[in-house]
Amino acid sequence: MKIHRLPPIRSTLRPNDHPYMNGPWTPQHEEVTATDLTVLEGEIPHDIDGVYLRNTENPIHQPLGRYHPFDGDGMVHQIDLRRGTVSYRNRFVRTRCMVAEQEAGRALWGGLMDPPGVSLRPGFGAHEGLKDASSTDIVVHAGVALSTFYQCGEAYCMDPETLEPLGLAPWVPLDGISAHPKVDERTGELLFFNYSKYPPYMHYGVVDRQRRVVTYTPIPLPGPRLPHDLTFSEHYTILNDFPVFWDEELLKSRIHAVRMHPNLPSRFAIIPRHGSAADVRWFEAEPTYVLHFMNAYEQGDEIIMDAYFQDNPTPGALAGAPPGFEHMMAYLDEQSFRPHLRRWRFNLRTGTTREEPLDDRILEFGTINQQYAGRPYRYVYSSRTEPGWFLMTGYVKHDLQTGQSWELNLGPKRYASEAPFAPRIDAKDEDDGYLVTFVTDENTGTSECVLIDAKRFSEGPVCRIALPHKISSGTHSHWAARPFLARAT
């Protein structure tokens, strides 16, 4: 393996016993480019060509207050697979906050678990005092990788092949964009939303393949909400208003306490892709919260939508957690909020909603073949996690047509992220390709890239490729086939 290391960054982080700064979450500060990677098992397929990108949180400086894993500075890890060859690189997302803290040589912002007064400077994003770490999601749109932050940030651009920084996305509105923007590979459009504490509380937008905002409209809500994701069908976008949001009375005192309001329904806003607020139709459903949506498509008078329904969106303290972390870890424990794969049917003619469970297992962080996004599809690849730690330990493949499913476990103390689907070159059908992920192995203190043949799912990895260093645990990732890496002009 040939490794080129970049100059080290300035870090003031001290050894500590914080549960999300050790073990699988041990921060990685080293930036490298590596070639001639070692293949640990199998061989690199020749029928795959593109890049896998994964965002992770890596705190650089000693926190001002209580650290939450979502506070860590964004770092993008990439593996480039080119018809049998492979290379790896990783780079920090050089946000304005990260650059300012490098210049100061210390942390300047508090985190998710801290009151606004902890921060020494105002935030650059839409939410007061909170650092835009750009550490949540990563997508490729019009040949540019976009790194985003879940609480509405600025969206940082990178070259998806070299990871060179390309600055801020110039089209992002004043209120920022939230994770997770969605790319429709068929049209080349990117769909996004943002939210704030001020009326109308949400906006929705569409960016075309030339990176121009062609739709931007308010989506009026009754008050501040906490949306996290959206989904789309061929002609519509689906936004949400869930009954899980800040306590309104405490918010007046700038206390951000999330509450479940069980007397309120879940509401879904269905808007034509290039529609306005006047075109929104609201559909009510059972109270819940959805962290991530899978897909939606149109069938007759209905829009069919699949997502992860939470049985217990606001769990209590997690038993057995380290002292002081009981409540934070409960919200990071899928066994506590209990998400299950569910289907909603919105009837555009009658205005009614029907719901049906698709699986009773605890599942989240799913992926699909993105060539089928917004259209009828058959396969979903969901992640399973270890109780208490938000660590992904395996996957479940669902055939939504037959109801069959297959499960794959990565083995003890081996932790991955959501695994995007990478279609084979000249793929013949929907599951003709690979799942790609990075795995951190706590047994050996190493990390690797794993490829799973989706048609031979239960057989396990067909290829394992050693990475040059151990990487921190992460959640969101993206696959971009080579044709999508060409920039729009």
pLDDT digits (tens, 9 = 90+) for 146-176: 999 988 999 999 999 999 999 999 999 999 9
Helix (H) or strand (E) holding 466: strand 461-466
Angle at 328 between CA 476 and CA 416, to 5 degrees: 30
Q: Which residues neighbour 111 within 8 Å (Cβ) at sequence distance 6 or greater? A: 63, 64, 65, 66, 67, 68, 70, 71, 118, 130, 131
User: Which residues in the chain land under pLDDT 50?
Assistant: 126
Coarse DSSP helix, strand, coil percentages of the chain, rounded to the nearest 5 percent: 10, 40, 50
CA-based Rg of the chain, rounded to a whole angstrom?
21
Longest dimension (CA), the chain: 62
Q: Shortest CA distance to 208 belongs to which of 174, 184, 176, 234?
A: 184
Query: The tokens 């269905």 sit on which residue?
Result: 270
pLDDT (0 to 100) of residue 272: 98
**Are 25 and 472 a contacting pair, CB within 8 Å?**
yes
CA-CA distance, 240 to 290, in Å (whole number)? 9
Coil, strand or helix at 387: coil
pLDDT (0 to 100) of residue 360: 96
Query: The tokens 């770490």 sit on which residue?
Result: 133
CA-CA distance, 150 to 126, in Å (whole number)? 11
pLDDT (0 to 100) of residue 119: 82
**In Å, how far from its chain's centre is CA 89?**
20
**In Å, how far from its chain's centre is CA 25?**
17
- Count how many Cα atoms sit within 13 Å of the Cα of residue 393 in the half-sphere of its side chain: 15
Tokens representing 301 are 């008078």
Q: What single string gives the DSSP state of each residue in 248-283?
A: HHHHTTT---EEE-TTS-EEEEEEETT--GGG-EEE
pLDDT (0 to 100) of residue 18: 93
In the chain the first and final C-alpha atoms are separated, in Å, by 36
Q: Is 67 exposed, middle or buried (0-12, 13-18, 19+ CB in 10 A)?
A: buried
**Are 151 and 131 a contacting pair, CB within 8 Å?**
no
**Where do runs of H (alpha helix) occur along 126-177?**
none
Query: The tokens 């990260």 sit on which residue?
Result: 98
Query: The tokens 């939450």 sit on which residue?
Result: 68
Query: The tokens 């699988």 sit on which residue?
Result: 24
Say which amino acid occupies 59: P
Strand partners, 385: 392
Q: Where are the beta strands (DSSP E) in 114-188?
A: 137-141, 144-148, 156-158, 165-168, 182-184
pLDDT (0 to 100) of residue 249: 85
What CATH fold (topology level) applies to the domain 2-485? Neuraminidase (2.120.10)
CA-CA distance, 93 to 103, in Å (whole number)? 15
CA-CA distance, 396 to 121, in Å (whole number)? 44
**Are 442 and 24 a contacting pair, CB within 8 Å?**
yes
Q: Is 342 exposed, middle or buried (0-12, 13-18, 19+ CB in 10 A)?
A: buried
pLDDT (0 to 100) of residue 55: 97
**Are 108 and 97 a contacting pair, CB within 8 Å?**
yes
2-56 pLDDT tens trace? 999 999 999 999 999 999 999 999 999 999 999 999 999 999 999 999 999 999 9
pLDDT (0 to 100) of residue 75: 98
CA-CA distance, 352 to 281, in Å (whole number)? 11
pLDDT (0 to 100) of residue 128: 61
- Count how many Cα atoms sit within 13 Å of the Cα of residue 75 in the half-sphere of its side chain: 24
Compute how many other C-beta atoms are within 10 angstroms of the C-beta atom of residue 372.
17
Say which amino acid occupies 376: P
Tokens representing 247 are 């306590």
CA-CA distance, 357 to 403, in Å (whole number)? 12
